Amino acid sequence: MIVLPAAIAAAKAAAAAATSVEFAVLFDWGSAMLSHASRAEQAADVSTALALLRVTLPDTKPLYDNDDVCDAIVAELAGGESLVLDAAARAAVEARIVKLYASPACTAAGLLRHMEELAASLAPFLPDSL
């Protein structure tokens, strides 16, 4: 379970200041097996992290393949979000998404670098309402 802090606005400010954005993380998968994880387990962590992004997709699209998820996210960005993002910003975000999903990383550390880049590019869009 991922638990976000009550005040994401603070996280957004931190992101704007190029400092670390902290999210409270409460999880119970693999929580007691943080070290000495096998390669397969670390690969599962990567899959889990990527699966988190699927929650943003419309409910009616059953997507199981990472490539499909990547395409769907890009398509969404090219659709309604084109009203919000200018072309350059959208291209930057899309490039980082493609890079993220194309990454051969199979460890948390390997994926984190790409995820951090994407997070930084999306930090301005963290909502103030939370």
Binders in 22-41 for another protein, by CB under 8 A: 22-38, 40-41
65 lies in the site for another protein, by CB under 8 A: no
Report the interhelical angle of 66-78 vs 39-54 (nearest 10°). Answer: 30
Q: Cα dihedral sign for 6, 22, 59, 51?
A: negative
10 lies in the site for another protein, by CB under 8 A: no
- Amino acid identity, residue 86? D
18 lies in the site for another protein, by CB under 8 A: no
How far apart are CB 123 and another protein at their closest, in Å?
7
How far apart are CB 106 and another protein at their closest, in Å?
12
Among all chains, which residue has been given the structure tokens 């393949």? 65
